[in-house]
Amino acid sequence: MSQDRVPPGQKVTTRFPVLHEGTVPSFDPSKWDFIVDGAVNRNLKFTWEEFKSLPAVTIISDFHCVTGWSRFDNRWEGVRFSAVAKMCEPDPKAISVFVSAEGGYTTSLLLKDMLDDDVLLAYRFNGAPLEPGHGGPLRLIVPKKYAYKSAKWVRKVTLMTEHELGYWEVKGYSDSADPWKEERYSR
């Protein structure tokens, strides 16, 4: 294990703990959709089959939970957010992405951070469909941030010209959520 991969205050685990607010939602592929709207030139709406037919990539990344654990070398498969952004054509004034998930969970990230090559809308994990407890069918993966920014059960992203705080950020968690700066809580 390389210590330069462990952010301050984190401990490495090989387990993958399941943490979330609320209950795990049920998934009906025939009724599921994914929406992109807001400060875009093209609103998008995908069925499950349409979303899975988009060009997929695999990324290997580390995962850092704000509760103090990190898990290395996770293999995620899905669609790069940057590819979705290219399809929706963000308004030049768009600066933020508000992510909405099942059960009312939300988070937000700056658009510039969402456009990183390793930000993924993932539906597979380590070669298998993403389990519901880990965010299946669709989870946002933002490796450079604490995991509460990697929302489970994502259904909609809204590009915005102003930044709005999400569920945990409103409750006092850091909006920047950088594990390397140990930005767990807002100051």
pLDDT digit string (tens) for 108-125?
999 999 999 999 999 999
- The sign of the torsion formed by the CA atoms of 163, 34, 88, 55 equals positive
Domain ranges in the chain?
29-181
From 14-23, 40-49, 178-187, the region with the lowest mean pLDDT: 14-23
Task: Tell me the per-residue pLDDT of 3-23, one tens digit each, with 9 for 90 and over.
Answer: 689 999 999 999 887 877 778
**Rg of the chain over all Cα atoms, to the nearest angstrom:** 16
Cβ neighbours around 180 below 10 Å, total: 11
- Residue 24, helix vs strand vs coil: coil
Instruction: Give the whole-angstrom CA distance, residue 89 versus residue 94.
Output: 10
Instruction: Determine the 3-state secondary structure of 168 from DSSP.
Output: helix
Position of tokens 């795990």?
24
**pLDDT at res. 21:** 74
**pLDDT 10s digits, 48-73:** 999 999 999 999 999 999 999 999 99
Question: Which CATH class for the 29-181 domain?
Answer: alpha beta
Phi and psi at 12, nearest 5°, equal: -80, 140
